[in-house]
Amino acid sequence: MAAVIDGTRTSELVRERVASEAAEFVSATGHTPGLVTILVGEDPASQVYVRSKGERTREVGMASFHDQLPATASQDEVESTVARWNADDRVDGILVQLPLPGDLDSKPVLELIDPSKDVDGFHPVSVGRLVANQPGLRPCTPAGVMELLHTYEIPVTGAEAVVVGRSDIVGKPVALLLLHESATVTITHSRTRDLAEVTRRADILVAAIGRPQMITGDMIKPGAAVIDVGINRTEAGLVGDVDYASASEVAGAITPVPGGVGPMTIAMLLSNTLEAARLRRTQ
Ligand code: NAP
């Protein structure tokens, strides 16, 4: 039976670390790191996410700001809101909650964010720094995957890592982070021939697909570390992209859903906000 990789506990450890380092930062610089969330419209799920990001930010001793725009806001209004926070020295991180409602185009909005405040890590400058392995802000969920591997001392250097999924927000960045730590990385997707043959090679298997319980035990190498990024709402409740029951019989270590990668995302957002504050004051 696989060891459980506990994301809830690991996210608490990250938040404790951020809280203590944020306190040191405040006493060294006199500046309290700040994060602003920008929400356009009143989507209930987005409201919950934004509220919990605000609460967590305050819990670690950082400043939290929130900018609420109506669903009727124009593209110009959303963009000028971002520009205003770019110019506001109280905030080190700007998070635009996605998706934007209606016909609003998120791409130019995200590209307007000052890269030094890009705590989501989606700005092309941040993407370029990630590709080039230069210091910068990394996307939160992929960074959370790496934090889990480190915390559970899962060897990455030289490991065969297989990432299922090639999205810009999870699959590609997690593959790059694994590569930069010298894993031998394979990225798979919906056109991959004989997926199971590829996944069975993985010492580290990351599933970021968005298909409930698609990765079954017979697709996993005995003893592998399985990181399930998937969050799927089904009639049976919240499930991952990995079939936990069969996978945990074969894997050496595995993340549950919920309680695996999910809680890591906000923790890494807080870590990025502190990192942004540091980088902004040393550049
Ligand atoms: P996405 O943009 O829809 O990408 C899914 C990827 O899976 C695509 O690259 C797709 O291939 C691939 N795929 C789909 N069907 C496949 C199949 N049958 N075999 C192999 N590959 C297949 O999804 P995402 O945004 O990366 O999110 C993935 C999952 O992670 C979702 O469940 C999402 O809810 C979850 N998620 C969780 C967090 C968190 O924990 N905080 C954050 C973000 C996302 P193609 O490119 O060929 O279409």
Q: Is 120 a catalytic residue?
A: yes
Confirm whether 53 is a catalytic residue: yes
One-letter amino acid for residue 55 of the chain: E
The 10s digit of each residue's pLDDT in 60-75 is 999 999 999 999 999 9
Count of CB atoms situated within 10 Å of the CB of 133: 12
Supply the angle between the helices 7-29 and 262-282 in degrees, to the nearest 10: 20
Q: What is the model's pLDDT at position 282?
A: 78
Q: How far, in Å, CA of 223 to CA of 1, rounded? A: 9
**Ligand 1 site, residue 230, Cβ cutoff 6 A:** yes
Q: Per-residue pLDDT tens for 181-202? A: 999 999 999 999 999 999 999 9
Tens digits of per-residue pLDDT, 24-64?
999 999 999 999 999 999 999 999 999 999 999 999 999 99
Taking residues 91-102, what's their average pLDDT? 97
How much distance in Å is there from the Cα of 63 to the middle of ligand 1? 33
CB 118 within 8 A of CB 61: no
- Residue 37: helix, strand or coil by DSSP? strand
Task: Examine the residue annotation and report whether 97 is marked as an active-site residue of this protein.
Answer: yes
Q: What is the pLDDT of residues 1-28, one digit of tens each?
A: 999 999 999 999 999 999 999 999 999 9
Instruction: Please write the tens of the pLDDT for every residue from 151-180.
Output: 999 999 999 999 999 999 999 999 999 999
Q: Phi, psi at residue 3, to the nearest 5°?
A: -70, 145
Cα(115) to centroid(ligand 1), Å: 25
Check residue 56 and give its pLDDT: 98
What average pLDDT does the chain have? 97
User: Which of 211, 229, 233, 238 has the most ligand 1 atoms within 8 A of CB, as the residue to mutate?
Assistant: 229
Confidence bin at 283 (pLDDT 50/70/90): low
Q: What integer is the mean pLDDT of 227-240?
A: 96
What is the distance, to the nearest Å, from the Cα of residue 204 to the centroid of all Cα atoms in its chain?
18
